[in-house]
């Protein structure tokens, strides 16, 4: 079953506007990307470097700025829309905080005053550019700021966008399955957990069938003192043993969670879920060179026998080997 999601636009957009953002560039520090691109951020940059890096959106190169403005004007004329009803707008958002901030707005009536580069760093700096563990999405729009007279095959509602370009900041930790969050007594009280709880997976707001980067991430809480102990002796056999066990605990929590068990998997196949959290879990279990047939079998196990899938995860992460090695060294 094909589950590809497409944006349906019941109106026509002039060529000038449909491609007006093709030359736009998002720059974060020294890194750059083009529309629909991403910049991967090393998690070690957080919180200092991530929170300080300058962020800019460049509409066009210096030599093409006037051409960019001309395309906007010509596109508005071709669409038969008064430039007074149009504006450039930039938002910065993060799924983690569930907020979207408008950081730039410029009316098309004043293109003479439009500069080539938009500073997105503030002050004040957008919240999404301060949450380094969770990344951000930057979107540039050309949209209607006023409702105009309805006309077939022409945009007319306020807030309708005629052109759009999205850029993503993705922390490298998102390429892994999880990063533990410290669990202290305050968090236990907030979550309604007893004091003896060592780890807890909060999947409550995660949407398991959405791309991982577009959904509120699950939070894997691990006892604060235990995390500090692991950090102080990361190479110790017992630390390695506990770390691998935590990976297994996380996988078990995901696969047996109500969010996954109650999800409508229907006839979903591997390609439908490869960008989701479930897809990342299956990739880990199957291994880097797994065939689509192998991955399809694992998808079926999510529906039919999640306990067996958990067991396969235990094999994939080498839990037995690590525990035996730790035991033989007298660490258990």
Q: What pLDDT, on the 0 to 100 scale, is given for residue 176?
A: 58
By C-alpha distance, which of 223, 171, 159, 167 is closest to 196? Answer: 223
Whether this prediction's pTM lies above 0.85 is answered by no
Q: What pLDDT, on the 0 to 100 scale, is given for residue 50?
A: 75
Q: Are 114 and 142 in contact (CB under 8 A)?
A: no
Q: What pLDDT, on the 0 to 100 scale, is given for residue 174?
A: 41
Q: What pLDDT, on the 0 to 100 scale, is given for residue 32?
A: 92
pLDDT digits (tens, 9 = 90+) for 145-162: 988 777 766 777 888 999
For helices 292-304 and 277-286, angle between their N-to-C axes, nearest 10 degrees: 120
Residues of the chain with pLDDT under 50: 1-6, 8, 44-47, 173-175, 332
Domain ranges for the chain: 15-174, 176-328
Q: What pLDDT, on the 0 to 100 scale, is given for residue 106?
A: 96
Q: What pLDDT, on the 0 to 100 scale, is given for residue 10?
A: 58
pLDDT digits (tens, 9 = 90+) for 237-265: 888 899 899 999 999 999 988 888 888 88
Q: How far apart are CA 248 and CA 183, in angstroms?
A: 18
By C-alpha distance, which of 298, 292, 330 is closest to 316? Answer: 298
Q: What pLDDT, on the 0 to 100 scale, is given for residue 206?
A: 81
């Amino acid at each position: 079953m094909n589950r590809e999601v497409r944006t349906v636009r019941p109106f026509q957009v002039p060529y000038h506007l449909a491609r007006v953002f093709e030359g736009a560039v998002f720059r974060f520090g020294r890194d750059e990307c083009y529309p629909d691109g991403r910049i991967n951020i090393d998690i070690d940059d957080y919180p200092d470097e991530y929170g300080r890096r300058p962020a800019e959106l460049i509409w066009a190169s210096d030599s093409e700025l006037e051409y960019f403005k001309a395309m906007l004007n010509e596109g508005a004329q071709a669409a038969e829309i008064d430039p007074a009803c149009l504006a450039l707008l930039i938002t910065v958002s993060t799924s983690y905080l569930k907020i979207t901030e408008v950081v730039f707005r410029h009316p098309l009536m004043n293109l003479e005053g439009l500069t080539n580069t938009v500073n997105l760093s503030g002050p004040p700096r957008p919240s999404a550019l301060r949450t380094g563990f969770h990344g951000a999405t930057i979107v540039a729009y050309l949209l209607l700021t006023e409702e105009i007279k309805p006309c077939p095959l022409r945009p007319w509602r306020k807030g309708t966008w005629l052109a759009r370009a999205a850029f993503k900041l993705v922390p490298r930790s998102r390429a892994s399955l999880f990063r533990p969050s410290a669990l202290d007594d305050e968090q236990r009280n907030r979550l309604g957990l007893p004091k003896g709880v060592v780890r807890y997976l909060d999947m409550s707001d995660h949407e398991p069938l959405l791309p991982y980067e577009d959904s509120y991430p699950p939070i894997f809480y691990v006892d604060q003192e235990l995390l500090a102990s692991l950090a102080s002796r990361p190479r110790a056999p017992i630390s390695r043993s506990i770390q691998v066990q935590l990976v297994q605990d996380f996988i078990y929590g995901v696969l047996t969670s109500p969010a996954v068990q109650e999800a409508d998997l229907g006839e979903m196949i591997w390609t439908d879920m490869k960008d989701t959290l479930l897809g990342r879990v299956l990739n880990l279990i199957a291994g880097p060179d797994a065939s689509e047939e192998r991955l399809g079998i694992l998808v079926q196990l999510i529906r039919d026998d999640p306990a067996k899938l958990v067991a396969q995860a235990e094999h994939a992460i080498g839990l037995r080997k690590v525990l035996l090695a730790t035991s033989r060294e007298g660490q258990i």
